[in-house]
Every structure is written in structure tokens, then in C-alpha cells.
Amino acid sequence: MLKHDRFQCDSVISTKDLGEELARISLDLAKRENATYAELRLVNTRTEDVSVVNENPASEEASTIGVGIRVLYKDLGWGFADTDELEHDNIRGTTKKALALARGASKLGIKVTRASEPVHVDKWESPVKKDPFRVPTETKYELLQDTTKRMKEKDIVARRGQMNFAIIEKYFANSEGSKIFQVLSYAGVSAIVAAKGPTGVQRRSIQQSTGGGYELIDEMDLPAQALEITKDALALTRAPTIQEGKSDIILSGDQVALQVHESCGHPIELDRVLGYEANFAGRSFLQPDQLGKLQYGSEHVNIVMDATLDHGNGLGTFGYDDEGVKAQRKYAVKNGKFVGYLMSRETAPRVGETRSNGCMRAEYYKLPIIRMTNVSLEPGTWDYDEMIEDTRDGYLMVTNYGWSIDQKRYNFQFNTEKGYRIKNGSIGEMVRGPTYAGITPEFWNSCDAIANKKSWVLWGTPNCGKGQPGQTMITGHGASPSRFRNIRVFGAS
Amino acid sequence: MSQKMEHQPVSLREKAHQIFSTAKSVAGKAEAEIILVSRVDEYLRFGNNELAQSQYSTSRNLSVRVASEKKQGRVTTGTLDKASIEKSVEKAISQARNSPEDPDYLPMPGPQKYSPVDRYSEKTVEAPAELKASYIGSAMDLAKKNHLLASGVLGTSVEHVMMLNTSGLEASYRGSGGYFSLTMDADNGNQTGFALSTFGDIGELDPNRVSQTALERARLNKSQAEIAPGKFDVVVDPYAWSEMLLFFAVSASTGYSPDLGMRQYKEGRSYLSGRLGEKILGDNISIDDDVYHPSQAGPPFDGEGCQKSKVSLIENGVFRNLASSRISQRRYGAVATGHELPLPNPLGELPTNLVIRGRGTTKTSEELIGELDKGLLITRFWYVRETEPKTKIVTGMTRDGTFLVENGEIKRPVKNLRFNQSLLELFSKVDAVSEPVRNFSEFRQFRILQPGILARDFNFTSVSPF
């Protein structure tokens, strides 16, 4: 039986000790079988999900532990196998399965060159102020019931509150000598209310996911926000839609975060640029010959890829990625110019880089692929209120409802939950389902104002899909409200 | 390698009974339910004419539900030694104790009778990786000969589920299946073709046909013309739908919760609440939930072990019935149809095996194209999301081959288009359909059989630069 190193210790062997033991077995075997490179991840995960929908409660606690083993054979073929049966014989068997797949792949592969990475022997732990697994389930339910009760009004048809927590202990070792133990903690919270009226069902929601623990739930104070979003949802059932046309728009920070995710985060993934995602996630309009040349956005636009804790405790914050590369901070877009990709050790040399910037991430039972870390729009210089005051005629659009973008990340359309007309520097009438659409580089080049640090929040996207079979990853995106000029707008209906 | 060794159903059954015995003894007087799922997956993934990501995955997952005094708790674990199982049950007891009473709590159902489904293919289970690699190798060779890059995945899965509860219920299911998804492209995806095939028995897979279809479309889809957006008559290939038709059954307006269940309908959460008996689609379109359809997949029982019934949700365009459960039977006097999710489930019932079908004689895709005077052939939709729930307006893109058709013949490729289209309107303007096929979806819980269609006035709103 395993013990969690930090939480609720009640057993005899730690994830780290077990990881070391299993890595010795697997990496020795891979070496004897002439693997050029091998790595093992032991991942011990504990999660809790608590929700209330209308009057109905539901909760689930889950724990998984397993090993993912990746090997490279003759520098020509990769193989990956995983198991949740951790007996020594089974670890040997799983290593052999990975080797067999790697040998097979080597017959249809091409020479793999990997960027070098220093050997790391280290421990890293994400900060947690309030351990969520020590907060009683009863307390969590009380807060969610309080939230959903406050939403109870005539014409409200759905009331939903939810929180989820995860602690992940991860041991990584590779054949180059790296031995890394990490403890990563995450929390998420959301509330959704839906009202039915003359315009159909209208939704308002709040959602945030970050690194850390129950302190997020305290900070978000769902019951306090429940009344406001309920009032909004009811008002939206009677609000007008907007006329199709061109307009200046100001997007709320959470909407900018999703815009960064979809129109910058994905096209800078180097695996899709090189064609390895062509069948599913797609390719990218950001080609290597445009590095350092393409004016991706206006001079105000600076986008970083930052997995370090200095950036904040986000869903893309860690000490090391899942191939043992240390967390780094790099620019993807600097003063509007496209300057960098999210990379792996294998892909970095393909664009002339000598080191990966550490973006390989996956659950233990999935092959690591390039994923976003924290891909964030740096704050600008505008005070948010001054940005509104400076806008003569436009719309403020708040919180995403739906999002869609083509496979190269060019043509996008986002609709938001609510909006307001801005007239002569003042926020006016509420509008329902305001939608904006555009072409990525044209859109970011139209950005002329970004709110300052006071309005900047590191948002979380807990459900980014990519890969085959499908993988879900958590990613972070810092953003503040931003203004875009002369954008195509229309109503969702 | 074969996926056989890890899947001996007898041993899993024995394992499930051992686990259940432990769970019962720890649960004491409380009710207990276990769901044990064992999976083996093998995926050979390739890109740029390289076999780049091969993976073999085994997992066993135990989910324990404990209920006492109308309170419930659920704990899931992948660790199946006796001590871990005991700990999981203790956690579930503690969780139940600390949960509020569930107003919909019902005692666990007793023994059930199940109509058998035959979803386990020895051929699929025993297919060696070398065979699958040879299919991929042939696709890559064909791509190379034609100066194209092949990318995609050939995956197979084997699943075995055992469910037991303290009221005497025992349910088991085993199934296998897979899919071959292939893109051939060039010029950074400016020239591209796509093909897909899903199967239960790998013997049904015709890998050459998949390769030839992707090649043929990639050859045709070169130097695309730009066309002005607007309304076009369309032929939609049956494998083109992606996640699009999922939005018949799920709404973003309530947080991606299901729509076609009795509880959400009665509570007013469904976009169809209050519309039973109304004509919402064309006369020639029906939608069933039918786990027993020969092309369907998955177990014939729901999340609490009750047998699934076939439900005619929409009959000849008229919204007739809803998926239901024991909870809706008690709440509303409905006939339970076996569409509960694992409990506790605050979202409502979910039909997981939709079959969308047309009336009358079905046609082949070639025949549908032949009947199109002027319009577009869509071979793949992409990134579809709901924008308006009332009429189910969805937006998304076309990709990997959109073709202008005139007088029943493909004339030339056009650039990808964005659409904003009501699903209810689209399926009210369908002139002809093909046989429904199982389209692979990343949403694993849903298995939808979707037809190709010839339809009028599809609303395209903008064009992509490629």
C-alpha cells in the first residue's frame, strides 16, 4: 500500500520510494535491451469532485496510481506502454511491451535527434495554503447548497455549483540520470445558472481553476456571486441581441484568456506545426519561416509561455515537464512579433533550438505530447475604467459561451454570455449572446489597449483536448481586459 | 501485440466477486454497489509518414457506491489489493455519511434480465500490432508515391465491465472495437483529404478503401477556389459529422448537461421542455436510442445496472418520447427505460446510443452527390459548438475537402467555410439520406449512428484563408 507523502499518511511506502524502485527495474531492462533512451513516470493521483444541481447532491473521490514507460529504439522509433499493476514482473512486462512497439516503429521511423537537457535530481512542490482534503465534505456541500439556494428564483431552470481538487505525486526518472519527484495540487470551482424566458434559455456562469488548494474556494466566494449571476441570467432573457456589423469591442479578462488559448496557444504547439496532429487537432498557420518575422499582433501584444512559479500558481505551473525538462519562461509573441514555439526535446532541434522549453505533459497512461503551460498575455498600461471611458462606441463582452476555430487556428468565432453597449465612454444597455469573429493575425493586430496588472488574472482552462486517443490537459492563461478595434460582431441567434 | 492475455472474462468475473465480497463485509448494513471496468487499448499513431506514437495501455478501474439512510457516496480506485479496496469502501461510507440526503435516493435494484448483445470480436482482440502496422505502412507508401504525407491513428480497444450490488444484481459486458482515421496532405495542409472507418470486428475494416478515399480527396482538394458564403444545398458524408450531432442531446446553456431525459425535461432544463408531441424535424427523420442496433456499441444496461430499452425519441419528425429511469418512474410515473448514469447523478438521464435515420430507401454517398444539382459536398466538419440552444444553432468549420458539385458531379474544391446553422432547421430540410454509420467521437460516452444527408439551405457565414 502507498502513502501520500504530504496528505493523510497511513501506509508504508511513498510514491517517491516506489518510483525509484520501479525505475531501476524498468530502466535497467531497457538498457539491456539496447534502448537508446528510456523514461518512467509513476503518478499517484487523488481527486475529489463535489457538486449540487438544483436539489441533488453528488460527490466522488478517486485515486489512481500507475506507470507510463516510454522508450526510444535505435533513435528511430518510440514505444509507450502503461500499467496500473505495479508488481515487478508486470513492470518488466510493460517495459517489454514499450520496447516491442519501439522496435516495430523503428522499421517505419526516421532518425530522432533530441535536444540535450541537464540531468536533474530534484524535488518540487506546488504551494497550497489550505489542504482541500482536510476540509470536510459536509463543509463543501454546505457552501454549494448555499450557492444554489441563492439562485432559486421564478424562471430559473438550472442551478449548479461544483468544486474539484487534485493532488498528484509524480516520480520521473530517465536513462540519462534524471530523478525528479513533484507534488502538484490543483483546485477548480464553478457555478452556473440558467433562466428561461422569451428568448429561450440564457446562461450565466463563473469558473476558475488554479494551482493550490481550498483557498481558491474561499477567494471565489460563490454564494456572494450567486445573486449577481442569477440577476444577470434573468435580465438576459429579456435583453436585446445586437445588430451585425463592425464595432470596437472590449473583452473581459476570462474571455481574453480563452482567445489566447485558442488563437495563440494552439498554433505555437510545434508538433502540430510539424504535422504530427494533422489528422485530428490540425496544423498551424505559424510556420517556422515566420519566426521573428511575422507581425502576429500589434506592438502592445506580448505573450509568454511560462511554467515557473514566478508567473503564478496556475494550471500550467510545475517544476519539470513530463520528459524531465525544467520549467522555463519564453516569449511566444514579443511586441507583436511571433518569436517562439511550445516545444519538446525531439521537436526543438527541428527549428534550430538547442533546448526544449519544457512543454511535454500527459497523464501517466498517455504518451506525453506538447501541451500549453501558462500561455499568457502580459498586462498592458491601461487602467480598466479609463479604457471604457476612452471607448466612444462599442461593446463590452463578458465570459465565454461557445468557441470555434479552424484547424490552422485562423478563422474563429466566439460568443459570450452577456454584453453591454458602450456609448461615449459609459457602459449602457445589456445585450444577450454578443458574438465576435475574425482572422487571428488581423484580430491581434487590431488590439490597441490592454488593461494593467491590477486587472490581470491567471485563469485556468481545465479541459484542453488534443491527441489520439484523446488527451485532456489543464492549462493556464493570464490575461486582463483588452480592446480590439473594428471587429465583426453579431448576435448569437 | 495481442490484446488477448489481459482479457480473460472468467478471471475478471472472479475478481469482481472477490472485490464485492470485501466491499460487502466492510459496508456492513449499508447498501453497496461495485462497477469493475478492465480495458486494454492499443493505438498506432502516425504523422508525416512516420509511425511516431505507438502505445499500449492496460487499466482496471473499480468504482464503489455506498448508500445508507438516503445518503450516498462514490469512490473510484485503480488499486485492487484487499487493503485498498477496504479503504475505498470506508471512504465511500464516510463520504455518504457527510453528504446531504439525496431527495431522489432509491434502494439499489435487484437482479435484472438482459437482452444479450454480441460485441466481442476474437479477431479484433487477437489482431497483432504487426497487422495494424502493415495497414499503416501501406497507407504511408501510397501517400509517399503521391507526394503526400499520411497522418492518423489505427486503434483497437477491448473492454470488460462487471457490476454487482447488495440487492443481488449482477451485470456483465465485454466488447471490442476500433477505428482507422487517416489524413493525406501536402503544402502545410493546404492540400488535404480525410477518411475514417470504425469497426467492431477488425475483419470488417477495409484499410485499402480508407487509404484510397483519403488519397482521392487529397488529389481533388488542390488549389481551392474562394466562394462567397451564403446558403448552399449540401451533401454531408456520413463520416463528416464529427461531434456536431451530439448537440441534439446536450446543451451548453445548462453547462453541457444532457437534454433528452425525463428529469431535465420536467424541470425545464432541456431545450425541448414543453415540446413533446411537437413536430421539430422533417417528416422523414427519426431519432432512436437503441443500444441493440447491430452497428451500436456498449453494454445493454445503464449506470445502476437496469436493462436499456429502445426509445423512439423522435418519430417522423415528431418529438415523442424521453429517456427515463427508476428515479423518473418514482418522480413522474414514467416508464423506466434504463438510461440512468452512475448514481448519484444530478444531471438526469442520458441516451448514449442514438441512431439518426431517414425514412424510405437509403442511398449511397455517390447517389446523394448525383442528386445534387448545385451545392457543396462536405467531407469533414470541425470544432462544432452550440451558439444558441432554442433552435440548436451550432457553429463550426469545414476541413479536409469541401467541394463544389454541379449537376451531380464534383467540379472543384473550395476554401474552408464557417457555418452558423440550426440543427432543427437542417434536419427539417433533408431530401435524402444514406445508411447511418458509427462515427468515432472523442466523447466516448456517446455512440451515435449518423447518416449522410442531402439537404437544402445550409448556412455558411465566412471563409477561411485556406
Tell me how many helices (H) and strands (E) chain B has.
9, 23
C-alpha to C-alpha distance for B350 and B341, rounded to whole angstroms: 7
Domain span at A120: 2-236
From first to last of its 466 residues, chain B has per-residue pLDDT tens of 656 545 455 589 999 999 999 999 999 999 999 999 999 999 999 999 998 889 999 999 999 999 999 999 999 999 999 999 999 999 999 999 999 999 999 999 999 999 999 999 999 999 999 999 999 999 999 999 999 999 999 999 999 999 999 999 999 999 999 999 999 999 999 999 999 999 999 999 999 999 999 999 999 999 999 999 999 999 999 999 988 999 999 998 888 889 999 999 999 999 999 999 999 999 999 999 999 999 999 999 999 999 999 999 999 999 999 999 999 999 999 999 999 999 999 999 999 999 999 998 999 999 999 999 999 999 999 999 999 998 999 999 999 999 999 999 999 999 999 999 999 999 999 999 999 998 865 445 678 999 999 999 999 999 998 9
Whichever domain contains A181, its CATH number is: 3.30.2290.10
Distant-in-sequence, close-in-space partners of B300: CB < 8 Å, separation ≥ 6: B114, B115, B116, B117, B173, B291, B292, B307, B308
A367 chain-B contacts, CB cut-off 8 A: 53, 55
Task: Collect all residues with Cβ–Cβ distance below 8 Å to A289 and sequence separation of at least 6.
Answer: none
A202 contacts in chain B (CB < 8 Å):
253
Same domain for A325 and A188: no
Contact B334, B324 (CB under 8 A): yes
Q: Which residue of B has its CA nearest to A273?
A: B188
Residue A313 and residue A178 share a domain: no
Question: Which residues on A lie below 8 Å from B385 (Cβ)?
Answer: 402-404
Q: What is the pLDDT of residue B1?
A: 60
Last residue of a domain, one of A196, A219, A236: A236
Q: Does A365 touch chain B if contact means CB atoms closer than 8 Å?
A: yes
**Nearest CA to CA, how far is A98 from chain B (Å)?**
7
**Grid coordinates in use for A91?**
513492470
Residues A184 and A260 in one domain: no
- Same domain? For A253 and A232 the reply is no
Beta-carbon separation of B416 and A411 below 8 A: yes
Predicted confidence band of residue A4 (pLDDT cuts 50, 70, 90): very low
Q: Are residues A226 and A249 in the same domain?
A: no
**Any residues with CB less than 8 A from the CB of B101 and at least 6 apart, and which?**
B69, B70, B71
Between residues 395 and 434 of chain A, which touch chain B (CB distance below 8 Å)? Answer: 401-408, 410-411, 413, 415, 433
Residue B183: is it exposed, middle or buried by C-beta count within 10 angstroms (0-12/13-18/19+)? buried
* Torsion over CA: A351, A354, A355, A360 (sign): positive
Q: Which residues of A touch B48 (CB under 8 A)?
A: 274-276, 278
Quote the minimal CA–CA distance from A104 to chain B in Å: 8
B162 with B9: CB under 8 angstroms?
Answer: no
Chain B: residue whose CA lies nearest to A207: B255
pLDDT of res. A3:
43
Average pLDDT rounded to a whole number, residues A110-119 = 94
- Residue B219 phi/psi, 5° resolution? -65, -40
Q: Give residue A127's pLDDT.
A: 97
Q: Is B179 exposed, middle or buried (0-12, 13-18, 19+ CB in 10 A)?
A: buried
Q: Is A282 on the interface with B (CB under 8 A)?
A: yes
CB proximity list for A31: less than 8 A, separation 6 or greater: A38, A175
Evaluate whether A458 touches A312 at the Cβ level (below 8 Å).
Answer: yes
**Same domain, residue pair A57 and A186:** yes
Of B53, B78, B192, the CB nearest to A65: B78
Neighbours of B225 (CB within 10 A): 10
- Which domains does chain B carry? 9-213 (3.30.2290.10), 223-466 (no CATH)
Question: Tens digits of per-residue pLDDT, A54-78?
Answer: 989 999 999 999 999 999 999 999 9
Last residue of a domain, one of A191, A209, A236: A236
* Average pLDDT score over chain A: 95
Nearest CB neighbour to A61, from listed B75, B181, B390: B75
What pLDDT does residue A10 have? 43
DSSP A47-59: EEEEEEETTEEEE
Cross-strand partners of A472: A465
Radius of gyration over alpha carbons of chain A, in Å?
A: 24
Residues A326 and A194 in one domain: no
Picking from B45, B59, B213, B273 by the largest number of A CB atoms within 10 A of its own CB, the best residue to mutate is B45
- For residue A492, the model assigns a pLDDT of 82
Number of domains into which chain A is organized: 2
- Which of A65, A192, A465 is the closest to B255 by Cβ? A192
Q: Spell out the alpha helix ranges (H) of B303-408.
A: 326-332, 365-370
Average pLDDT over residues A171-196: 98
B189: chain A residues, CB-CB within 8 Å: 275, 278, 282-283, 407-408
Contact A279 B52 (CB under 8 A): no
Q: Is A8 part of the contact surface with chain B (CB cutoff 8 Å)? A: no
Of chain B, the end-to-end C-alpha distance in Å amounts to 40
Residues of B in contact with A366 (CB under 8 A): 55, 57
CB contact under 8 A, B346 and A57: yes
Nearest to B445 by CA among B355, B350, B356: B350
| Record: contact B51-A77, CB cut-off 8 A | yes
Q: Are residues A229 and A267 in the same domain?
A: no
The answer to whether B346 contacts A56, with C-beta atoms less than 8 Å apart, is yes
Q: Do the chains contact at A62 and B75, CB–CB below 8 Å?
A: yes
Question: What's the Cα-to-Cα distance from A378 to each of A81, A331, B159, B416, rounded to whole Å?
Answer: 39, 10, 46, 33
* CA closest to B442 among chain A residues: A470
Sign of CA dihedral A464, A465, A466, A468: positive
Beta bridge partners of A420: A396, A430
The candidate with the shortest Cα–Cα distance to A301, out of A384, A378, A397, is A378
Distance CA B19, CA B64 (A): 10
Whether residue A279 and residue B47 make contact (CB cut-off 8 A), yes or no, is: yes
Same structural domain, A327 and A360: yes
For the segment A73-86, the average pLDDT, to the nearest whole number, is: 95
Q: Which of A193, A210, A236 is the last residue of a domain?
A: A236
C-alpha distances out from residue B64 to A165, A379, B61, B318, Å:
19, 47, 10, 40
Q: A214 and A332: one domain? A: no
User: What is the reported pLDDT for B165?
Assistant: 98
- CA torsion A295-A301-A304-A305 (nearest 10°) is -60
Of the candidates B76, B73, B69, the residue with the CA atom closest to the CA atom of residue B107: B69
Flag if B386 and A402 touch (Cβ within 8 Å): yes
Residues A381 and A478 in one domain: yes
Nearest C-alpha of chain A: how many angstroms from B162? Answer: 18
Q: List, in sequence order, every residue forming a beta bridge with B459; answer none if it has no partner.
A: B231
* Per-residue pLDDT at A5: 40
A45: enclosing H helix or E strand: strand A35-53
Note whether A208 and A191 are within 8 A (CB): no
Which residue carries 444554489 as its cell? A148
Q: Is A107 in the same domain as A168?
A: yes
Decide if A104 and B155 are in contact by the 8 Å CB cutoff. Answer: no
SS3 A234: helix
Chain A residue with minimum CA distance to B189: A283
